Structure 1
Amino acid sequence: MLPRETLATARIPDGEELTLVSHGRDFIIMLGRDELMGTRMQFSEEQLAVLTLAELGAKAPRVLIGGYGMGFTYRAALGAVGDSGEVVVAEIVPEILDWARGPLSSLTGDSLDHPRGEVVLCDVAALIDDANDGTTGKFDAILLDVDNGPDGIVRDPNDRLYTRTGLAKAREALNPGGILSVWSAAPDHKFTRRLKDAGFHVDVREVRARPNNKGPRHTLWFARK
């Protein structure tokens, strides 16, 4: 059995420590003993972007992503927004970007320098607030993968994104017909109800973690304004 090698660690603001480890040719980001994400199971995170943009159908969509992680959702969004779209990512852990340009550079490629992409070091809630107060334009899609789902484990402040108030703010930050998409490791029927109570039309799908229809089943919500 191949051993795991610790490559780097980083402290989450208001949260615990993340660890980047290698396992043979694969990479994994750990929170304690929990695997948050890894290169063997990235398909559902990519589908968060691919399926959202397929449903959106906008010619020049403006997309906000909460959480960079290993960049799976970000790169998939860049590949799906077309020549005129824009993708903005909010990431709160600076070391995540150091890892992207360092040990994970083979995954990252030139995506962090992409002309249609931007990574901002801040809480995604701040960019949602900016869209609501007129500091920036509104978004055609908001993709949230900042935790393990609506029942967060990474940091307590993430919970506010999934409250009725947080969902109302996300809805207000969307253009008409825009979509709020949320990734989760598990289903959450109460969250589905909260989305509907916030005024969204909701579609819930299960997507496997691997493209060969294997691995855990993850839940994706697509909530249209």
Structure 2
Amino acid sequence: MSSLFKEIDSQASPLGEISLRRRRIPAFGDRDIYEVKLGEEFLMSSMFVDAEEALSTLGLAQVQGENLSVVVGGLGLGYTAVAALKDERITELLVVDALETVISWHQKELVPLGKILNADQRNRYVLGSFFDLATDPSTGFDPSHAGKKFDAILLDIDHSPTEFLNPSNAGFYTTDNLSLMAEQLKPNGVFAMWSQNPPEDNFIELLKTVFASVDSHLVTFDNPFQGGQSTNSVYVCVKG
């Protein structure tokens, strides 16, 4: 196999065949790009990670206090989780992912950030559906402490609030289900979410039915394929 491309692993999952690949792309120079595909769809890539990291930095910037307990919804390639752990106030980070294969890639350190996450004792992987756990506050995100409340919940699973990784996720984006998730936040806790699209007014209005304040941020990054810049967005909401 060419040194420019290698399939590291491929496994069946409840959503279909999921594969981890590594490639070199001349536009990015001497740098390995890691990609995850679900069937024929690109699920995640280390090509552009600015917005995934901004999800943590923008979200946690609005959190008050010390000794923070934080949930990351969606492990991906680990960029949101690693960025969160740079905040020294965090004492506990739960990273929730529905795909055992993705968690195992990090545990086995088949992806670069697995080593960082495994070495940080504040980090804990939780195998489960973020959306199921988010809408069941009596059980909640922590399998060791039912009903535990958190300082922040950072979500990066769906492509946007209207473009879903799995069609069943659509039901989460309602006042009722977002309110159930918000029950798992402490007073003044923060919910932040990544989207590949510019901020959507309809979603902002929906978030305002649940949260005391809602802000959206456009994250800009260089894109050599387009000869310029691209954008993603991050929504940051504070509970009353």
- Using the size of structure 2 for normalisation, the TM-score is 0.81
Residue 113 of structure 1 and its aligned partner are, at CA, apart by 4.3
CA contact (8 A) 1:132 1:138 kept: no
**Structure 2: distance between partners of 1:149 and 1:7:** 28
Distance change >3 Å, CA 53–CA 190, structure 1 → 2: same
* Matches of 1:34 and 1:138, distance apart in 2: 35
Partner of residue 28, structure 2 = none
User: Match for residue 220 of structure 1?
Assistant: 234
Q: CA separation of 1:81/1:162 partners in 2, compared to 1, >3 Å: closer, same or farther? A: farther
Separation of aligned partners in 1, 2:135 and 2:73: 13
In structure 2, C-alpha distance between the alignment counterparts of 1:43 and 1:32, rounded to whole Å: 25
Query: Is the 8 Å Cα contact of residues 82 and 116 (structure 2) preserved in structure 1?
Result: no
Aligned to 2:83: 76
Deviation at 1:125, TM superposition (A): 3.0
SS at match of 1:216: strand
> Max radius of gyration: which structure?
2
Gaps of 5+ in 2: 25-31, 141-145
Aligned-residue offset at 1:4? 4.1
Measured after TM superposition, the shift of residue 28 of structure 1 is 1.1
Amino acid in the other structure paired with 2:20: L
- Aligned 8 A contact 1:140 1:179 in 2: yes
Alpha carbons of structure 1 residues 215 and 5: separation in structure 2 relative to 1, 3 Å: farther
Between stretches 190-199 and 66-75, larger displacement belongs to: 190-199
Q: Counterpart of 2:156?
A: 145
Structure with the higher fraction of residues in helix conformation: 1
Percent identity over paired residues: 28
Cα contact 2:59–2:192 (8 A) shared by 1: yes
Give CA deviations for 1:150-195 in whole Å, capped at 9, x if unaligned.
Answer: 1233212322322222211121111110111010111322111110
Match of 2:6 in 1: 5
Contact 1:7 1:20 in 2 (8 A): yes
In the alignment, the residues of structure 2 paired with residue 210 and residue 200 of structure 1 have an alpha-carbon distance, to the nearest angstrom, of: 33
2:18 maps to amino acid: L
Cα distance, 1:133 vs. partner?
A: 5.2
Unaligned stretches of 5+ residues in structure 1: none
Q: What are the Cα deviations for residues 6-30 of structure 1, in whole angstroms up to 9, with x where unaligned?
A: 32234442x3433222112211112
Contact 1:43 1:211 (C-alpha < 8 Å) held by counterparts = no
1:201 and 2:213 correspond: yes
Q: Which residue of 1 aligns with 2:27?
A: none
Mean Cα deviation higher: 16-25 or 44-53: 16-25
Root-mean-square deviation (Å): 2.6
TM-score by length of 1: 0.86
Q: Is the 8 A contact 1:16 1:154 kept in 2?
A: no
How far is 1:85 from its partner?
2.1
